[in-house]
């Protein structure tokens, strides 16, 4: 049972991408360089959680004072993926964000 199913209210459906409703949905990969702070990974992943999205793969490695994070997620329009990338860039702990389609 998922955390959302534990509540008495119905599960909240995924939000439609109203800005790109007719756009094709695809899988994307985010490549991030983030400060190696205890809450950095949580801050990045919270941007997906706020939209009820769950990445299908997350890889992280620490390199000195930076975390290299790769996140793959399916079912996003390119527009929505870019909006999430921009929100990542606005986080103070994030140094770099690159976005690319998964093949």
CA–CA separation, 11 and 32 (whole Å): 31
pTM: predicted TM-score of the whole model, two decimal places: 0.78
User: Above 50 in pLDDT, residue 44?
Assistant: yes
Q: Which residue has the higher pLDDT, 48 or 20?
A: 48
Non-local (6+) Cβ contacts of 24 within 8 A are 77
* Domains of the chain, each with CATH number or no CATH: 22-101 (3.30.70.260)
* Per-residue pLDDT tens digits for 1-20: 555 454 444 444 445 555 55
The number of beta carbons lying within 10 Å of the beta carbon of residue 47 is 18
């Amino acid at each position: 049972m998922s955390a959302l199913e534990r509540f008495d209210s119905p599960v909240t459906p995924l939000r439609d991408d109203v800005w790109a409703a007719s756009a094709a949905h695809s899988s994307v990969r985010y490549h991030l360089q983030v400060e190696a702070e205890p809450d950095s990974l949580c801050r990045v992943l919270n941007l997906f959680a706020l939209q009820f999205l769950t990445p299908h793969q997350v890889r992280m490695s620490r390199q000195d004072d930076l975390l290299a994070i790769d996140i793959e997620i399916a079912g996003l329009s390119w527009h929505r993926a870019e909006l999430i990338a921009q929100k990542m860039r606005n986080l103070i702990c994030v140094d770099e964000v690159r976005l690319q389609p998964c093949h």
